[in-house]
Amino acid sequence: MILKSFIISACILISMLQPFEGYSQGCVAIRGSGGASCSLTGTSDSTGWLINVNNRYFKSYRHYVGKKEQHERTENGTEVINHTFNTDILVQRQLNRSWAVAIVIPVISNSRSSLYEHGGNAAGPGARHSTHSFGLGDVRFIAFKWLRDPITASRWNVQAGLGIKLPTGDYRYQDYFHRNDSLQVLGPVDQSIQLGDGGTGISAELNAFYRFTERISAYANVFYLVNPREQNGVSTARGGVPTAAQLAYGSNVMSVPDQYMLRAGFNVAMNRFSFSAGARKECIPATDLIGGSNGFRRPGYIVTIEPGMTFQVRQLTLYALLPVALVKNRTQSVPDRIRTQKTGIYAHGDAAFADYALNAGAVIRF
């Protein structure tokens, strides 16, 4: 029972162990699993290894300004469509019953279909083309510690984590943009499908559980990634020349923003299965905790309900979660605010969100 509890509770951490990869949902930065929730809790006295392979897919295409959906984008066929597939490989070493260290290695495959980046929204359906990116994302190293003795504190506990995110993902990834039938221009792809952000970041997290009975428990996760670097120097002109407006308001280069995630919910264990239901908020804030906040970013947040299921047999745990969007909000960015102040006309950019994401993976301990 202790070993089974450890395996499933370790999955709590996977919700937090995601590198920053960009903003394919318009504002949602955390693209990894969401992980399996803590349906059982506890740990093991022994040291050992744990490997999690998580896959996440979503399609973003619904455009929002604030909380208002821009229905005309899909009606007119001018919406931007992003397909994002991430595989996050987490390798964790349990040092003792309180301490663990881990590395998260993301492999990312993105595609982005649009009109405005190529022939233009007025050019008709024939002007729609796609750009792509594939490769290694930003790797993270993390150390974890249970704040109470995991053996004696079997009813509730809190785990703290501190990590560093390295700029291993290519944040200058390029592809071809179609200006017309005969002209293609090579340039950096949109920020939403870049493989990395170009900054070194510090992550902090808390993972907690409370056990009501042997079968029913609650969980909560808090994660924040601090990115001190303000901008990474990558042009947003897609192989062209920045406009005067972009230069004036600071949106001509890509920002390196902070990000955070909050999760909470309940689990019910039934033999080898565990079923969870909770809520999640993922956010890119408009301003960072440390450093400047100018440069191009699509800040905002998405709130989802998150049903999930895990199945455990011996050393293997399989899980699947389906976060479904309740609230989508593209907030005003710093360049939006600068433009509003300089022109006296309210400015507020848009972002495309997904209706849901599919997270599925496997955890094995040995």
pLDDT number for residue 180: 87
What tokens appear for 263 in the block? 């999760």
- 78's CB contacts (< 8 A; 6+ apart) are 115, 116, 121
Question: In terms of pLDDT, which residue wins out, 65 or 16?
Answer: 65
Residue 104 has a pLDDT of 96
Q: Bigger pLDDT: 2 or 103?
A: 103
Q: How many whole angstroms separate alpha carbon 233 and alpha carbon 253?
A: 6
Q: What is the pLDDT of residues 22-42, one digit of tens each?
A: 333 444 444 444 443 333 334
The answer to whether the beta carbons of residues 199 and 227 sit under 8 Å apart is yes
Cα distance between residue 194 and residue 112, in whole Å: 11
Evaluate whether 56 touches 16 at the Cβ level (below 8 Å).
no
**Cα 166 → chain centroid:** 16
Task: Give the mean model confidence (pLDDT) for residues 278-286.
Answer: 96
pLDDT at 260 over 50: yes
- pLDDT for res 181: 84
Q: What is the rounded average pLDDT of the residues 134-145?
A: 97
Name residues whose C-beta falls within 8 Å of residue 68's C-beta, 6 or more positions apart in sequence. Answer: none
Burial of 241 by CB count in 10 Å (0-12 exposed, 13-18 middle, 19+ buried)? exposed
Give the rounded percent of residues in the chain with a pLDDT score beyond 90: 82
Rounded to whole angstroms, how far apart are CA atoms 141 and 166? 8
Span 66-84, average pLDDT: 96
pLDDT tops 80 at residue 13: no
pLDDT for 46 equals 60
Tokens found for residue 165: 């995110």
Tell me the mean pLDDT in the region 285-299.
97
Question: Quick one: what percent of the chain has pLDDT higher than 70?
Answer: 87
The structure tokens listed for 244 are 């005067």
- Residue 300 pLDDT class (50, 70, 90 cuts): very high
CA distances from 144 to 92, 104, 148, 203, 259 (A): 10, 13, 12, 12, 20
Average pLDDT, the chain: 89
Tell me the β-bridge partners of 319.
310, 361
Average pLDDT over residues 267-278: 95
Using 50, 70 and 90 to split pLDDT, how confident is the model at 47? confident
pTM: 0.88
Confidence at residue 108, expressed as pLDDT on a 0 to 100 scale: 97
Domains and CATH numbers, the chain: 2-365 (2.40.128.130)
Distance (Å) of CA 24 to CA 20, 327, 366: 11, 17, 35
* Confidence at 146, pLDDT banded by 50, 70, 90: very high
**Residue 203 backbone class (left: φ over 0; alpha: ψ -120 to 50; beta: rest):** beta
Segment 94-103 mean pLDDT: 94
Distances (CA, A) of 349 to 2, 249, 323: 51, 13, 25
Q: How far apart are CA 62 and CA 64, in angstroms?
A: 7
